[in-house]
């Protein structure tokens, strides 16, 4: 396996175009009323994003010998499914920015303060109005994603029983796992770091991020071979699950040492929010009492100064938090890649390997 | 057609038991983690409710000659679909009570203020926490409802293409119509009554409530005959749509003159919220300038006194608001019933007629 990022990004770009065209088709968009809801349901898609999940689903389909074009509705569905969870998570996390632009709830909050919609609400009412519209936007996107999945059969010839199986898996097992991961993440932020272990943090990451990537691998492979009962399906699904979790580890590293423009949010956000990432765990584990106090005085402290944040980032690095997690991500990717040993060599398998390689090298 | 409410309620009770058993089955419940989310996803079902939507779906299946038992997953799915919209609407409407008991967001708000979950949050944080858990609860229920629909084929033998068609309709057309109705309802509350007409109010009601009832009739009939392309499907769907809208008209009347224990919320809530119901429209239309001022001084005024509310209710009645809407509901029900003329007489058709009859006579 020779890492070749140019190939990977060229191929990623091609899938991204296919998926955007499918998502933004007039037969979907014309269903959304009134007009401002129509803006909201496609906003995050238009904000950008790499479409990694759809691409991985399509590559997984190709890697087991399937025609990746048939998997387009499932790939687009996963992107929209991911999008509605972002819209609702942004309300829960009270994030004003997503991909460097205004989140849905913030957008409607801002509009309703002005006279644009003839509302001119008080600050408290504007906040509630923004949340209300964002809840409904995510709900509509949720339904939209499922309807895209249905098109696997109604427009792309996939066996209807396979499609129903995928819809069922996405809307129960995957959804429940994602929500459980999200709830654990919120609860951990209120917990003493001493009570956490690398295993329970990784389990949370696997649920929060790995589960949807696992579905991408599984769905792509099932569409490719036409059934769930094939050893290649599990191999690919376990590969994408492990890579998805490693992706989140790298995300947690970048959440601490990344630059503001690539993060799309202010430096130190994760620290001020009090996120119990594996970086924090390892650094804390290696710290003496004085350093432990320095870490806990900043973690979850919304009013920590920029200087405190800069010092804490250095400290986390000095204590080996970053290196330990980077090593763990690397090991996870190696384990993941070995799972593809029995999948015949192909351009698609190479693309999956290149994705894995990108995950631990990326800086954005 | 002889109205026979005893028969109707006996038959409704039987369906209610079937649906509750299906919904509360361990194979679903065991999927929900953590445990407090498990409480939340079934709370409104356990609070009560008449299960009218599921029963109507099953009667519609029987009325076209189908086996209503096969329609159970769709009937349960509609109930859970309705439930998640209630959980999210209660956040949006800031309602503390549903069916006389604590709403999901209010429940978690109240808990987090105390020490029960080890949180003990500030009032503002508790409010946000309650909303966050309720958003996720509704999201899980949304997925759950769709997975129930999938069981039409995976456990009850319905053609998978028919099931996919129903899932697609529920999660795009019906969902979009419901949300549009909800958004219009919110927007109307900020509008001058003079700018509204009976037609646009009825259109909003038809979207907000008629659409899901229309789906109940259509889905039941499609499952019963095995295809969408049968004139009986449209006849039953139009019947249930009209009855659903009449149901909402009666709900608006009861929202003004109903008793607190049957409403499950304080008397005058709809007036204080400023809801632009048809009752308000007709009364306002018949009012002189002095009475118009009396109405508008109370409508949407959260701090209106109980005495103001009592006087306004009398005024709305004296101005013919109640009688006009009751007459409109009666006409709508008559139009609806004539749509079933070409459906062969049967026990099931009688039950649909009895439901229609109940809608305009009910006091709860």
Q: Please, is B42 exposed, middle or buried when counting C-beta atoms within 10 Å of its C-beta (0-12, 13-18, 19+)?
A: buried
Over range A311-336, report the average pLDDT: 96
CATH number, position B180: 1.10.600.10
Over range A342-357, report the average pLDDT: 96
Q: What is the pTM of this model?
A: 0.93
User: How far off is chain A from B274, nearest CA to CA, in Å?
Assistant: 15
Q: Which of B34, B143, B154 sits opposite A183 (nearest CB)?
A: B34
- Contact: A136, B88; criterion CB under 8 Å: yes
Contact A107, A272 (CB under 8 A): no
pLDDT category, B79, cuts 50, 70, 90? very high
Nearest CA in chain B to A129: B92
Contact B100, B83 (CB under 8 A): no
Whole-complex ipTM:
0.93
A48: left (phi over 0), alpha (psi -120 to 50) or beta: left
User: E-strand spans in chain A?
Assistant: 97-98, 101-102
Structure tokens at B9: 């309620």
What does the alpha-carbon distance between residue A197 and residue A285 come to, in Å, rounded to a whole number?
Answer: 10
Q: Count the alpha carbons within 13 Å of B109 in the hemisphere toward its beta carbon.
A: 18
Average model confidence (pLDDT) across chain A: 92
Over range A31-49, report the average pLDDT: 88
Nearest CA in chain B to A152: B164
Cis peptide bond upstream of B34, omega within 30: yes
pLDDT of residue B273: 84
Number of domains in chain B: 1
Which residues does chain A have within 8 Å of residue B142's beta carbon, measured at their own beta carbons? Answer: 139, 142-143, 171
Over range A100-112, report the average pLDDT: 93
pLDDT of residue A1: 46
Sign for the CA dihedral angle at B300, B302, B308, B310 comes to positive
User: How far off is chain A from B139, nearest CA to CA, in Å?
Assistant: 7
pLDDT category, A117, cuts 50, 70, 90? low
What does the alpha-carbon distance between residue B320 and residue B2 come to, in Å, rounded to a whole number?
Answer: 29
Domain with B279, as residue range(s), is: 5-361
pLDDT of residue B1: 46
Cis peptide bond upstream of B225, omega within 30: no
* pLDDT tens, position by position, B301-330: 989 999 999 999 999 999 999 999 999 999
pLDDT at A85 over 90: yes
- Contact: B139, A140; criterion CB under 8 Å: no
Structure tokens at A246: 């490693």
Q: What percent of chain B has pLDDT over 70?
A: 97
Q: Which of B153, B171, B190 sits opposite A143 (nearest CB)?
A: B171
Which residues does chain A have within 8 Å of residue B93's beta carbon, measured at their own beta carbons? Answer: none
pLDDT at B230 over 50: yes
Q: Which of B163, B172, B190 sits opposite A119 (nearest CB)?
A: B190
* pLDDT tens, position by position, B250-270: 989 998 988 777 777 778 888
Test the A interface: residue of B111, B132, B187 with most A CBs within 10 Å: B132
* pLDDT tens, position by position, A156-174: 999 999 999 999 999 999 9
* pLDDT tens, position by position, A180-233: 998 888 888 878 898 999 999 999 999 999 999 999 999 999 999 999 999 999
Structure tokens at A131: 């949340």
pLDDT at A2 over 80: no
What does the alpha-carbon distance between residue B17 and residue B61 come to, in Å, rounded to a whole number?
Answer: 18
Residue B231, CA distances (Å) to A28, A47, B67, B150, B334 in order: 27, 45, 19, 25, 20
Residues B201/B202/B205/B210 CA torsion (nearest 10 deg): -170
pLDDT of residue A5: 61
Name the pairing type of β-strands B97-98 and B101-102: antiparallel
Q: Please, is A194 exposed, middle or buried when counting C-beta atoms within 10 Å of its C-beta (0-12, 13-18, 19+)?
A: exposed
Q: What does the DSSP assignment read for B240-305?
A: HHHHHHHHHHHHHHHHHHS-HHHHTS-TTHHHHHT---HHHHHHHHH--HHHHHHHHHHTT-TT--
pLDDT at A261 over 90: no
């Amino acid at each position: 396996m020779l890492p070749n990022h140019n190939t990977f990004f060229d191929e990623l770009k091609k899938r991204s175009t296919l998926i955007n065209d499918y998502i933004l088709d007039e037969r979907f968009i014309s269903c959304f009323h009134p007009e401002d809801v129509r803006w909201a349901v496609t906003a995050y898609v238009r904000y950008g994003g790499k479409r990694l999940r759809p691409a991985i689903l399509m590559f997984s389909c190709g890697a087991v010998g399937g025609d990746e074009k048939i998997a387009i509705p499932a790939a687009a569905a996963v992107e929209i499914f991911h999008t509605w969870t972002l819209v609702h998570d942004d309300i829960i996390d009270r994030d004003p920015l997503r991909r460097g632009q205004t989140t849905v709830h913030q957008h409607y909050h801002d509009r309703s303060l002005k006279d644009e919609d003839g509302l001119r609400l008080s600050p408290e009412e504007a906040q509630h109005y923004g949340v209300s519209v964002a809840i409904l936007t995510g709900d509509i996107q949720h339904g939209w994603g499922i309807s895209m999945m249905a098109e696997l059969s109604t427009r792309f010839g996939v066996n209807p029983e396979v499609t129903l199986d995928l819809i069922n898996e996405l809307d129960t097992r995957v959804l429940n796992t994602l929500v459980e991961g999200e709830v654990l993440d919120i609860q951990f932020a209120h917990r003493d770091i001493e009570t956490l272990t690398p295993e329970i943090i990784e389990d949370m990451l696997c649920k929060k991020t790995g589960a949807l990537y696992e579905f991408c691998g599984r769905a792509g492979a099932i569409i490719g071979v036409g059934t769930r009962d094939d050893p290649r399906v599990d191999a690919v699904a376990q590969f994408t699950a492990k890579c998805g979790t490693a992706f989140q580890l790298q995300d947690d590293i970048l959440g601490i040492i990344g630059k503001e423009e690539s993060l799309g949010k202010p430096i130190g956000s994760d620290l001020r929010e009090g996120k119990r990432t594996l970086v924090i765990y390892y650094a804390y584990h290696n710290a003496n009492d004085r350093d432990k106090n320095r870490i806990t005085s900043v973690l979850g402290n919304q009013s920590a100064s920029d200087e405190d944040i800069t010092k804490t980032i250095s400290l986390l690095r000095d204590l080996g938090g970053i290196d330990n997690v980077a090593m763990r991500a690397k090991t996870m990717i190696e384990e993941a890649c070995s799972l593809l040993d029995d999948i015949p060599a192909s351009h698609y398998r190479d693309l999956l390997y290149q994705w894995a390689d990108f995950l631990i090298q990326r800086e954005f």
